[in-house]
């Protein structure tokens, strides 16, 4: 049964919206050569960064959710390993060098076509400051995290799940909470 969804704008005038032979999902297909234009979910990479029992958060300087607090995270670039992307995002948003310990969680956010890979990390050096996408960057004790000002549900999920495995060397990565 073909999947039904509203077609996005075609990538070029000679593309048509149809189910390609051997497929089950409608896609843009070139009416001239048969090339299939795939659109796939975006991958977000980020980290829960700890330092001396506190958590690093960034106040967003950009939309969506400007002025709200988030973890250092963003879109994975082409040809970039996820861990490298998470380290890059920490540098871009918090001018922070981090050491990644483990994969903390994999979240599916289908309504915005995202897969999020969140890592557990620590500050490799105690220096950090707001990057161009952040208004402010700070370390928070657990009790002082601005819970009502978190930018996205997955930030809360990652913080809660990080807390559950604090001090554990080995654990299975989490997924979306129920």
Q: Which class is domain 42-164?
A: alpha beta
Residue 29 has pLDDT above 80, yes or no: yes
Distance CA(155)–CA(177), nearest Å, equals 12
Q: Is the pLDDT of residue 1 over 50?
A: no
Instruction: Return the DSSP state at 128.
Output: -
CATH 3.90.79.10: which residues of the chain?
42-164
Q: What is the mean pLDDT of residues 48-75?
A: 98
Q: Is the pLDDT of residue 3 over 60?
A: no
Contacts of 12 (CB under 8 A, 6+ apart): 30
Residue 141 region by backbone torsions, left for phi larger than 0, else alpha for psi between -120 and 50, else beta? beta
CA distance 72 to 56: 8
d(CA 46, CA 63): 17
Q: What is the pLDDT of residue 13?
A: 87
In the chain, the percentage of residues whose pLDDT exceeds 90 is 92
DSSP state, residue 132: T
CATH 2.20.70 given to domain 8-39:
yes
CB 134 within 8 A of CB 59: yes
| Cβ-contact 85, 45 below 8 angstroms | yes
DSSP labels, 89-107? HHHHHH---EEEEEEEEEE
Q: What is the pLDDT of residues 78-133, one digit of tens each?
A: 999 999 999 999 999 999 999 999 999 999 999 999 999 999 999 999 999 999 99
| Whether pLDDT at 26 is above 80 | yes
- The ranges of the chain annotated as CATH 2.20.70 are 8-39
16 contact partners, CB below 8 Å, separation of at least 6 = 10, 28, 29, 31
């Amino acid at each position: 049964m073909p999947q039904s969804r509203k077609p996005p704008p075609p990538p070029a005038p000679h593309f048509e919206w149809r189910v390609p032979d051997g497929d089950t999902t409608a896609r843009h297909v070139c009416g001239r050569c048969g090339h299939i234009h795939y659109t796939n979910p975006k991958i977000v990479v980020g980290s829960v960064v700890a330092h001396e029992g506190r958590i690093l958060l960034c106040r967003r300087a950009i939309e969506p959710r400007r002025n709200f607090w988030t973890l250092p995270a963003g879109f994975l670039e082409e040809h970039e390993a996820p861990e490298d992307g998470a380290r890059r995002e920490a540098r871009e948003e918090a001018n922070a060098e981090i050491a990644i310990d483990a994969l903390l969680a994999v979240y599916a956010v289908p309504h915005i076509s995202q897969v999020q890979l969140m890592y557990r990390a620590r500050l490799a050096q105690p220096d950090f400051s707001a990057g161009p996408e952040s208004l402010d960057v700070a370390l928070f004790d657990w009790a002082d995290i601005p819970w009502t000002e978190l930018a996205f549900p997955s930030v809360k999920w990652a913080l809660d799940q990080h807390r559950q495995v604090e001090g554990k060397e080995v654990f299975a990565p989490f997924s979306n909470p129920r």
